């Protein structure tokens, strides 16, 4: 870990200025990822701008929907009554991740911006284009059973590790940010990016912008949803494959449906064509299998993660079944519904 | 001394060290303070094999607060001969010497120690040490080095090599009506105790050192330091009152001790070195072993041929050895047996003992193969094991001192409900989950080591006992307190047990499940010596109620010495000591294995493990919903701490079956998941019901009839889970851990 300056920002404007002034500054809130990265010398910020005192921790009503402040902790969001009642898929996804201690510290904005868990990214002794552009990708041809099967490039096959963001993708949330050139709103689908030739860039956020809030749309799909996460142990492990699914039914006919996958790409992975296959169809296993097949037909697995293709296909089917039946996956009873 | 009622032996008692641990009073090696304490941070090699071309420490040394950067280029001289570096449990070879020269033997090898005024400065400066290497291609995959395997030319002390073959295993296998021949393997595992390895070395000003070292027996560290640094025993006192988990990783002194002592002597100043979690993946580990088990049997399952062949990875500088294959011929009766155990060199640090070393590995393979044979012959797995039940240890041609394994099968099966099992794979299910019931046998050595112990009784009725061995979290403080209290008829509250200090009577490292028998017997003997002395004082009192009574007719109870068959005749310990004119009575005694008993009998603990798994048929998620572990391990001193030992062993076994896996990038020769986020051990959610049974077993190898429980709980657990997975799914997975990809693949 390197030496760094520390400043505490009193206002959003101060925070943005403190980061824009150079010195390779980083915002710090919960620090659950950044501090690890600093210990590993992956991040070597010259300055930490502490934003924990900014008034961004509220969860508020807004036009019949919810606005979640960037500093609302993961625990605060997951246990918020309005979130639990109206956006249960978000609550469930958050509770599927990390541990109670981490969720108490981690913030909504930090969760959006957390970095991959690719082993090579964290290990200075190995090549990684995301950590050190141009050094190569250790995971390609290496230990890659946890890596991406969609949207990879020959520079990077890392995944985005968030559970929360997978639910936000299914809900079609938006991210409100501000910076020197003013406030803007980014749809969640455009917030994270694919690695392409610039795997060092995880998101479309500029370095001098700050996340203000995550805005949920009015529709929360509280009747038909699930967050299904498959991993190498029953808690405190990142997803091999996860699926957030939301649905609206008219009798047994699918009126609306969306699903996003975690653990399989550099961003929460959606496939609008596959979702389109669900519309107007009966909520049956056959319908779900057709959508799942469409999604995995685009998979490009690597040496050790071929199993994720079949696992993703099966997980999509099961998640859609859970959502349609109104039997969402419990995050405490580990039996899969 | 008549056999007195034993109010504590055999009763469930909470840990006497529990309050200190849960309130943070218990201090660990990296937590002791000293005046002017300097902090060392280890720089780890980025390559696996080759040599250091350039090491540039200028930038690191320029950081304010940095005191010194030690490398192979400027290190002080230490002993020359390998012999001086061989600790009490070292395998044959040339022990690793940190900063010895420019050669790199394994990934993460320490290449420099940055010593600074505070930890943060040392860590920062360590990131500024510039290294360039001449790298060579590493080889870390045992499978690719199988052809270069060899029989270790020098045997490791205490490790029995495979016995000579008997009968003709190959011919019998060829001719057997039923054959099972399969390969088994598990991933490299790292011990990963919660407490990282650390050493705090206190410079006492005159060349003497007081060392707090994370070790399972301080005498081993002391011996190592005297050998390496040419110190006299009275110049180095080593302490380690508590251990935050060891599992074998603390048997040998690790490199942070060497580095901290080297720096303290060089700087004439106190130094602490604490390893990072990532550095915990740069030394001892359970090796990856390739195993082939060949079972030939009659149609009724009676074994006709048994072969067990193993090739284990070791480092290029030491021949680590453990007992992997012998278990097959200890557990099962067979007239044609061949067992082989070989090593092959890898560019890894030397493997080491990890909870039930070798048995975890070998019994996993054997007991999975036996399950396969049960299916091949249509036998119930328990019936098959009973059919081949061994009444003699064939590897030494001796009867067992005790072996209540049949009771383990019976009581375990009863508790588990084994009779309700339908043997057909995939025949039991609950909703979307397949249900599998599997079982296996466990076996581990019952050992005793020469140990001494001291005891001091003072006139206020307080007793202090102890020796230098460690309580590695097993409950040693508690059971020794129970034994001592019983021996002198005191309350446990009046007894203090001290451990982990070379100033105390010498005892070996805590390992091999031998501490209860070894230290327990030594403490009992020391207390009996005190009892005898106080009794003599009591008898010599004027008008003594004990006059003319022999020692074997008295009991010690409630702080008094009483005639066994007439308790109204008694003298208090305080009265006796007053009459004897002493305010304290001290004794040091030593105890060792009974060699005539050893000559006549083999000594093992046994277990039967039953596991239930529920597996989502479509998604392959495995839950181990129930385990029953029935243990035959002689007498149990404390059912509460004993049960905890078995619970911990079972949990670790579940981890080995389903989760634990050091993922190596063999191109780099590097473990990639070197942290607890990515190297998975079980979390609470993974663990459901675990039921522990201790069956009655009478054993005479030591006076207390105890056998030791630290390791038996893990042995066989992996096979029981793997066999349950087969029963649930019909899929036989012979390579651990059993992860989702293997279930659905």
- The average pLDDT across B472-500 equals 97
State residue B612's pLDDT score: 98
pLDDT (tens digit, 9 = 90+) per residue, A14-51? 999 999 887 899 999 999 999 999 999 999 999 999 99
Does B620 contact chain A (CB < 8 Å)? yes
List, for residues A227-241, the tens digit of each pLDDT value: 999 999 999 999 999
Instruction: Give the DSSP per-residue string, B498-509.
Output: EESBTTSPP---
* Model pLDDT for residues B700-725, shown as the tens digit of each residue: 999 999 999 999 999 999 999 999 99
Whole-number Å distance between alpha carbons of A70 and A329: 27
Q: Is residue B386 located within the same domain as residue B416? A: yes
Q: Is A22 left (phi over 0), alpha (psi -120 to 50) or beta?
A: left
Instruction: Determine whether the interchain pair B619/A240 forms a contact, defined as Cβ–Cβ distance below 8 Å.
Output: no
Q: B120 and B172 in one domain?
A: no
What pLDDT was estimated at residue B120?
A: 96
Cis peptide bond upstream of B737, omega within 30? yes
Do A207 and A201 touch, CB atoms closer than 8 A?
Answer: no
B217 with B300, same domain: the answer is no
- Any catalytic annotation for residue B612? no
Do residues B309 and B269 both lie within one domain?
no
Q: Which residue has the tokens 């010593």?
A: B115
Residue B33 confidence (pLDDT) above 70: yes
Q: Range of B175's domain?
A: 146-189+285-447+599-744
CATH code: domain of residue B68: 3.90.1170.50
Cross-strand pairs, A127: none
B5 falls within a domain: no
* Alpha helical stretches, state H, A240-328: 272-276, 285-296, 307-325
Comparing alpha-carbon positions, the chain A residue that sits nearest to B678 is A237
Contact A337, A327 (CB under 8 A): yes
CB B70 within 8 A of CB B99: yes
B498-510 CB burial, b ≥16 within 10 A, e <16: bbbbbebbbbbbb
Q: Which class for B715: exposed (0-12), middle (13-18), buried (19 or more C-beta within 10 A)?
A: buried
Mark which of B533, B567, B592 sits at the end of a domain. B592
Exposure pattern of B325-352 as b/e (b: 16+ CB <10 Å)? bbbbbbbbbbebbbbbbbbbbbbbbbbb
What architecture (CATH level 2) is domain A225-325?
A: 2-Layer Sandwich (3.30)
Q: How confident is the model at residue A106 (pLDDT cuts 50, 70, 90)?
A: very high
A285 touches chain B (CB under 8 A): no
DSSP per-residue string spanning A165-226: HHHHHHHT-EEEEE-TT--EEEEHHHHB---TT-TT--BS--TT-EEEEEEPPS----SSEE
Give the separation between CA B31 and CA B37, rounded to whole angstroms.
11
**pLDDT at residue B602 is higher than 60:** yes
Give chain B positions within 8 Å (CB) of A2: 124, 127
Q: What sign results for the dihedral spanned by CA atoms B592, B594, B595, B601?
A: negative
Using the CB atoms, write b or e for A131-166: b if 16+ within 10 Å.
Answer: beeeeebbbbebbbbbbbbbbbbebbbbbbbbbbbb
Nearest CA in chain B to A96: B685
Mark whether B607 and B734 lie in a shared domain. yes
| Residue B6 in domain | no
Mean pLDDT within B85-102: 97
pLDDT at A63: 87
Both tokens of A133, joined, read: 């552009």
Domain layout of chain A by residue ranges = 5-49, 225-325
Domain boundary among B592, B612, B630: B592
Average predicted confidence (pLDDT) for chain A: 97
According to the model, what pLDDT value does residue A23 have? 82
Q: What strands, in cross-sheet order, belong to the sheet with A47-50?
A: A5-8, A47-50, A25-28
Interface probe for B, chosen from A3, A135, A142, A308 (most Cβ of B below 10 Å), is A142
CB A169 within 8 Å of CB A286: no
Please indicate, yes or no, if residue B113 is contained in any of the structural domains: yes
Among B526, B558, B592, the domain-final residue is B592
What Cα–Cα distance (Å) separates residue B181 from each residue in A180, B170, B296, B663, B734?
70, 12, 8, 27, 12
Residue-level pLDDT at B338: 98
Which candidate from B658, B668, B685 shows the least CB-CB separation from A334?
B685
In this structure, the number of other CB atoms found within 10 A of the CB of residue A298 comes to: 14
Start-to-end CA distance of chain B, whole Å, equals 66
Residue A324 has pLDDT above 60, yes or no: yes
Distance from CA of B50 to the nearest CA of A (A): 15
For B429-462, how does the pLDDT look when each residue is reduced to its tens digit (9 = 90+)? 999 999 999 999 999 999 999 999 999 999 999 9
Residue B211 lies in a domain: yes
B433 interfaces chain A, CB cutoff of 8 Å: yes
Percent of chain B with pLDDT over 90: 98
For chain B, the domain total comes to 3
Interface test with A, best of B121, B664, B741 (most A CBs within 10 A): B741
Cβ distance B633 to B678 under 8 Å? no
CB contact (8 A) between residue B740 and residue A240:
yes
| Same domain membership, residue B513 and residue B423 | no
Same domain, B568 and B483: yes
Compute the distance between CA of residue A151 and CA of residue A194 in angstroms, rounded to an integer.
6
Q: Which two tokens stand for residue A59?
A: 């969860």
Closest by CA position to B303, among listed B401, B369, B399: B369
Q: What is the DSSP letter of B190?
A: -
Gap between the Cα atoms of B389 and B370, Å rounded:
12
> In whole angstroms, what is the distance from residue B614 CA to residue A335 CA?
9
Task: Report the share of chain A in percent with pLDDT over 90.
Answer: 97
Structure tokens at B542: 């004027």
- Cβ-based contacts under 8 A for chains A and B: 104
Q: What is the pLDDT of residues B320-356, one digit of tens each?
A: 999 999 999 999 999 999 999 999 999 999 999 999 9
Q: Using the beta-carbon criterion (under 8 Å), do B659 and A232 form an inter-chain contact? A: yes
Write the CATH number for B170: 3.30.365.10
CATH number attached to the domain at A5-49:
3.30.43
The answer to whether the CB atoms of A145 and B741 lie below 8 A apart is yes
Q: Do domains A5-49 and A225-325 have the same CATH topology?
A: no
Alpha carbon separation from B377 to A182, B68, B90, B176, B336 (Å, rounded): 76, 68, 44, 12, 19
- For A219-263, the DSSP string reads ----SSEEEEEE-SSSSSS--SEEEEEEEEEETTEEEEEEEEEES
Q: What are the pLDDT digits (tens) for B137-178?
A: 999 999 999 999 999 999 999 999 999 999 999 999 999 999
- Asked if B619 and A235 come within 8 Å (Cβ–Cβ), the reply is no
pLDDT at residue A22, rounded to an integer: 78
- Are B292 and B379 found together in one domain? yes
Average pLDDT over every residue of B37-54:
98
Q: Which residues make Cβ contacts (< 8 Å) with residue B135, sequence separation at least 6?
A: B47, B48, B49, B50
Please tell me which residue in B424, B697, B711, B735 is annotated as part of the active site.
B711
Q: What is the 3-class SS of B601-642, one letter each residue?
A: CECEEEEEEEEEEEEECCCCCEEEEEEEEEEECECCCCHHHH
Per the domain annotation, does B665 fall within a domain? yes
pLDDT of residue A21: 81
What are the φ and ψ backbone dihedral angles of A102, each rounded to 5 degrees?
A: -65, -40
Q: Given CB atoms, is B132 within the 8 Å cutoff of chain A?
A: no
Instruction: Verify whether the Cβ–Cβ distance B683 to A307 is below 8 Å.
Output: no
Do B200 and B304 fall into the same domain?
Answer: no
Q: Give yes or no for residue B2 having a pLDDT over 70.
A: no
Instruction: Tell whether B476 and B520 lie within a shared domain.
Output: yes
Are B661 and B737 in contact, with CB atoms under 8 Å apart? yes
Contact flag A141-B667 (C-beta cutoff 8 Å) = yes
Identify whether B722 is part of a domain.
yes
Alpha carbon distance B266, B277 (integer Å): 27
Distance from CA of B361 to the nearest CA of A (A): 22
Mean pLDDT across B557-575: 95
pLDDT of residue B551: 95
For residue A264, pLDDT beyond 70: yes
Give yes or no: residues B104 and B182 share one domain.
no
- CB of A135 within 8 Å of any CB in chain B? no
CB neighbourhood size of B95 (10 A): 20
The predicted structure's pLDDT at residue A231: 98
pLDDT tens-digit series, residues B636-679: 999 999 999 999 999 999 999 999 999 999 999 999 999 999 99
Are both B395 and B511 inside the same structural domain?
A: no
Residue B5 has pLDDT above 70, yes or no: no
């Amino acid at each position: 870990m390197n030496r760094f300056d520390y400043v505490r920002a009193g206002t959003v404007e101060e925070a943005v200025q403190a980061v824009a002034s150079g010195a390779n500054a980083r915002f710090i809130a919960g620090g659950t990822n950044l501090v690890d990265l600093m210990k590993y010398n992956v991040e070597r910020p010259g300055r930490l701008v502490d934003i924990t005192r900014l008034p961004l921790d509220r969860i508020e009503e807004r036009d019949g929907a919810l606005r979640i402040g960037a500093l609302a902790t993961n625990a605060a969001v997951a246990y918020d009554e309005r979130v639990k009642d109206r956006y249960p898929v978000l609550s469930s996804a958050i509770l599927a991740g990390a541990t109670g201690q981490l969720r108490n510290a981690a913030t909504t904005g930090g969760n959006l911006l957390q970095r991959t868990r690719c082993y090579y990214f964290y290990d200075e002794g190995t090549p990684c284009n995301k950590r050190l552009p141009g050094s190569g990708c250790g995971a390609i041809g290496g230990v890659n059973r946890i890596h991406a099967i969609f949207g990879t490039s020959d520079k990077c096959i890392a995944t985005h590790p968030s559970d929360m963001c997978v639910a936000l993708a299914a809900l079609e949330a938006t991210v409100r940010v501000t910076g020197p050139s003013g406030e803007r709103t980014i749809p969640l689908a455009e917030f994270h990016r694919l690695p392409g030739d610039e795997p060092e860039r995880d998101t479309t956020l500029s370095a001098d912008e700050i996340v203000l809030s995550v805005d949920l749309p009015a529709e929360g799909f509280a009747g038909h949803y699930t967050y299904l996460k498959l991993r190498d142990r029953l808690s405190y492990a990142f997803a091999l494959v996860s699926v957030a699914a939301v649905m609206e039914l008219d009798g047994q006919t699918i009126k609306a449906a969306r699903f996003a996958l975690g653990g399989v790409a550099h961003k929460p992975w959606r496939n609008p064509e596959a979702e389109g296959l669900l519309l107007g169809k009966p909520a049956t296993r056959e319908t779900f299998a057709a959508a799942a097949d469409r999604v995995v037909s685009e998979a490009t697995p690597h040496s050790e993660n071929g199993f994720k293709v079949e696992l993703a296909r099966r997980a999509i089917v099961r998640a859609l079944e859970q959502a349609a039946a109104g039997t969402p996956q419990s995050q405490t009873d580990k039996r899969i519904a | 001394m008549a056999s007195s009622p034993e109010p504590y032996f055999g009763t469930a008692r909470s840990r006497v060290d529990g309050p200190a641990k849960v309130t943070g009073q218990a201090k660990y090696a990296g937590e002791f303070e000293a005046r002017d304490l300097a902090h060392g941070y280890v720089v780890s090699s980025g390559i696996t094999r080759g040599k250091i071309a350039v090491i540039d420490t200028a930038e690191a040394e320029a950081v304010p607060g940095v005191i010194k950067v030690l490398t192979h280029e400027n290190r002080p001289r230490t002993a020359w001969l390998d012999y001086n570096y061989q600790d009490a449990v070292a395998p044959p070879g040339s022990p690793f010497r940190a900063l010895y020269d420019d050669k790199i033997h394994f990934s993460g090898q320490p290449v420099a120690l940055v010593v600074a005024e505070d930890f943060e400065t040392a860590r920062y400066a360590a990131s500024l040490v510039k290294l360039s290497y001449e790298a060579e291609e590493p080889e870390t995959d045992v499978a690719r080095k199988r052809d270069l395997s060899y029989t270790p030319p020098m045997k490791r002390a205490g490790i029995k090599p495979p016995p000579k073959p008997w009968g003709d295993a190959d011919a019998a296998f060829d001719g057997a009506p039923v054959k099972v021949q399969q390969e088994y393997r598990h991933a490299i595992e790292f011990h990963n105790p919660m407490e990282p390895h650390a050493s705090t070395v206190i410079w006492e000003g005159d060349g003497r050192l007081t060392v707090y070292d994370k070790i399972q027996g301080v005498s081993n560290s002391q011996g190592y330091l005297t050998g390496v640094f040419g110190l006299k025993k009275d110049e180095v006192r080593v302490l380690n009152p508590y251990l935050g988990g060891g599992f074998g990783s603390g048997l040998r002194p690790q490199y942070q001790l060497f580095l901290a002592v080297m720096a303290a002597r060089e700087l004439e100043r106190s130094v602490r070195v604490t390893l990072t979690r990532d550095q915990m993946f740069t030394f001892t580990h359970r090796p990856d072993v390739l195993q082939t088990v060949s079972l030939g049997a009659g149609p009724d399952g009676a074994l006709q041929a048994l072969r067990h062949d193993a090739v284990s990875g070791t480092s290029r500088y030491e021949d680590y050895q453990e007992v992997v294959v012998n278990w097959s011929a200890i557990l099962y009766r067979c007239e044609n047996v061949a067992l082989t155990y070989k090593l092959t060199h890898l560019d890894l640090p030397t493997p080491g003992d990890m909870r039930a070393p070798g048995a975890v590995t070998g019994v996993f393979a054997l007991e999975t193969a036996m399950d396969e044979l049960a299916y091949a012959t249509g036998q119930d797995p328990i019936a098959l094991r009973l059919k081949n039940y061994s009444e003699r240890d064939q590897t030494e041609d001796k009867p067992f001192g005790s072996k209540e394994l049949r009771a383990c099968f019976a009581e375990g099966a009863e508790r588990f409900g084994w009779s309700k099992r339908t043997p057909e794979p995939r025949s039991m299910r609950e909703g979307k989950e397949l249900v599998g019931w599997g079982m296996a046998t466990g076996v581990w050595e019952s050992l005793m080591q020469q140990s001494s112990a001291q005891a001091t009784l003072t006139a206020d009725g307080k007793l202090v006992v102890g020796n230098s061995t460690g309580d590695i979290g097993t409950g040693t403080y508690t059971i020794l307190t129970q034994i001592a209290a019983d021996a002198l008829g005191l309350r446990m509250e009046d007894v203090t047990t001290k451990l982990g200090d070379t100033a105390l009577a010498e005892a070996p490292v805590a390992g091999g499940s031998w501490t209860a028998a070894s230290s327990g017997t030594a403490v009992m003997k020391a207390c009996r010596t005190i009892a005898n002395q106080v009794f003599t004082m009591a008898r010599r009192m004027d008008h003594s109620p004990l006059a003319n009574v022999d020692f074997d007719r008295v009991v010690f109870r409630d702080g008094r010495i009483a005639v066994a068959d007439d308790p109204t005749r008694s003298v208090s310990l305080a009265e006796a000591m007053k009459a004897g004119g002493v305010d304290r009575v001290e004794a040091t005694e030593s105890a060792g294995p009974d060699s005539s008993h050893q000559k006549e009998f083999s000594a093992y603990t046994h277990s039967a493990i039953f596991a239930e798994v529920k597996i989502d048929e479509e998604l392959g998620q495995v839950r181990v919903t129930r385990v029953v572990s029935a243990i035959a391990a002689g007498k149990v001193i404390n059912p509460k701490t004993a049960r905890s030992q078995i619970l911990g062993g079972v949990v670790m076994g579940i981890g080995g079956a389903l989760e634990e896996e050091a993922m190596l990038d063999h191109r780099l020769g590097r473990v990639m998941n070197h942290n607890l986020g990515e190297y998975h051990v079980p979390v609470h959610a993974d663990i459901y019901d675990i039921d522990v049974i201790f069956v009655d077993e009478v054993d005479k190898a030591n006076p207390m009839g105890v056998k030791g429980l630290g390791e038996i709980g893990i042995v066989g657990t992996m096979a029981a889970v793997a066999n349950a997975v087969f029963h649930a799914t019909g899929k036989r997975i012979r390579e651990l851990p059993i992860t989702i990809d293997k279930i659905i693949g």
